[in-house]
Amino acid sequence: MTYRRAVIPALVGSLLVTLLLWWAGESAQALQLRGATSVFDAQSVSELRLWLAPWSYDPPSALLAEGSTGGGAAFGGSSHYADLYTTAMQIRFVAVFAFFLAGALILIRRIPPTQGRTPATVLGLWAWTPMAGMLAVTVSAPWLIASYGHGSFRLLPRLASVIVSSGPVTVLAGLVAALVSVLVARVTAKGDEPSPRQSVPPRAARLAASAGTAVIALSLVVLSYQSVAAWIQTSFDGAGLLSEPGELLRAWLLLGSWTSPASTPIGDWLLYRAADALVLVVVWWALRLLPGLLTRTTAPAMALGGVCATVLALWAGRVVHIAFDSAFVVRGPVSLITQLDAGAPAVLTFGIAAGLTALVTLRLAGSRDVGKAPASTSDSGEPVAGTTRTEE
């Protein structure tokens, strides 16, 4: 699909995501009403407030309380800090529009919703939305931290806390935006030449998927082990504004958390490890199919595809966790998606690395397999350069 055709559904999806998040933030006030607890239980209301708080223009009560003891930094005492908070929210909404637009444009262009690619396009756009929300929160974090009135105090831990607070509401908004974007893309794609499936040697695709999955396993299995995570938390030190970087490093490097079975019943421990294994299986399968879905295996498309594959895999793991987690019974259905946005910064780090690693492996392995697969031919019977047999 050409950029001219892809930009229309990408713009529609970006605008819809922004409007949905703005509406969700404005709806946060409704949870303060007396009748809210009659519709939801108290625990669900508390969780919904946490969902909507990152997108609300109203300063949270905790921020107001902290500002009132911050030496003249209270919102009521100085309008400058209130203006900083408003500026942070304005930057956040502009940034989520821009980041979703950039990702959606690449996804719709490289995985157009035609030729059996529609489910992959929907899943890709859906998975990209929490990443766009996390990046928007990250970009606006300096203004938000400064609005507390003491931005230089524990800067890196505060930055880590803000970055991981985009909220699972982006998951719900992303599903709606993905479906609408794909519907618009199918309309704009009418009359365009069909994009053929990419020809990928099967052996090269499997090697590329294995290499990319190994990158994800580095974070999910090695770095997320309790003793290694503790070393990351405490071994790096700094001074001044760069002191205490451990929490920020954990946010960008750890996709999960696990310990030895000594502190957990062996049955529960095996179930959680089975969920981690499912994450790796889904990543491998997605990276195995990704090159064949793309109209062209470029670095941006593979990097973005690696991120989306990791998001979908983590979602699959979260669902398995919920299936045998007793907290779901206690906390109610709202908890079903509370943790779906967890690990978003690390997903971006290792998802990009996995996609690029898969691309490099694909090209290296594919160059050895080109001579083993018969070339495609045109209608006149002449071989078409650069194509090989594909495994559907």
185-218: per-residue pLDDT in tens? 999 888 666 666 777 888 999 999 999 999 999 9
Q: Provide the pLDDT for residue 76.
A: 46
Position 256 confidence tier, pLDDT thresholds 50, 70, 90: confident
3-state secondary structure of 258: strand
The average pLDDT across 87-113 equals 95
State the Cα–Cα distance between residues 15 and 26, nearest whole angstrom.
Answer: 16
Q: Provide the pLDDT for residue 388.
A: 38
Please state, rounded to an integer, the average pLDDT across all residues of the chain.
81
The average pLDDT across 222-228 equals 91
Position 237 confidence tier, pLDDT thresholds 50, 70, 90: confident
> Which of 171-180, 325-334, 359-368 is predicted with the least confidence, judged by mean pLDDT?
325-334
Smallest Cα–Cα separation from 174: which of 300, 319, 340, 289? 340
Q: 358: buried, middle or exposed (CB in 10 Å: 19+, 13-18, 0-12)? A: buried
Q: Above 60 in pLDDT, residue 142?
A: yes
Cα dist from 213 to 239, 255, 340, whole Å = 36, 13, 20
Amino acid at 74: A
Name the one residue in this structure whose structure tokens are 């987690």: 325
Q: Provide the pLDDT for residue 36.
A: 59
Q: Above 70 in pLDDT, residue 228?
A: yes
Q: Provide the pLDDT for residue 175.
A: 95
Eight-state DSSP code of residue 373: S
**Gyration radius (Cα) of the chain, Å:** 23
| Structural contact between residues 282 and 216, judged by C-beta atoms closer than 8 angstroms | no
3-state secondary structure of 383: strand
Q: Provide the pLDDT for residue 38.
A: 58
| Structural contact between residues 94 and 143, judged by C-beta atoms closer than 8 angstroms | no
3-state secondary structure of 106: helix
Listed in sequence order, the residues at least 6 apart from 269 whose beta carbon sits closer than 8 Å to its beta carbon are 261
Instruction: Give per-residue pLDDT as tens, 342-376.
Output: 788 999 999 999 999 999 999 998 754 433 434 44
3-state secondary structure of 260: coil
Maximum average pLDDT range among 85-89, 114-118, 143-147 = 85-89
| Structural contact between residues 177 and 20, judged by C-beta atoms closer than 8 angstroms | yes
| Structural contact between residues 128 and 309, judged by C-beta atoms closer than 8 angstroms | no
Q: Provide the pLDDT for residue 50.
A: 78
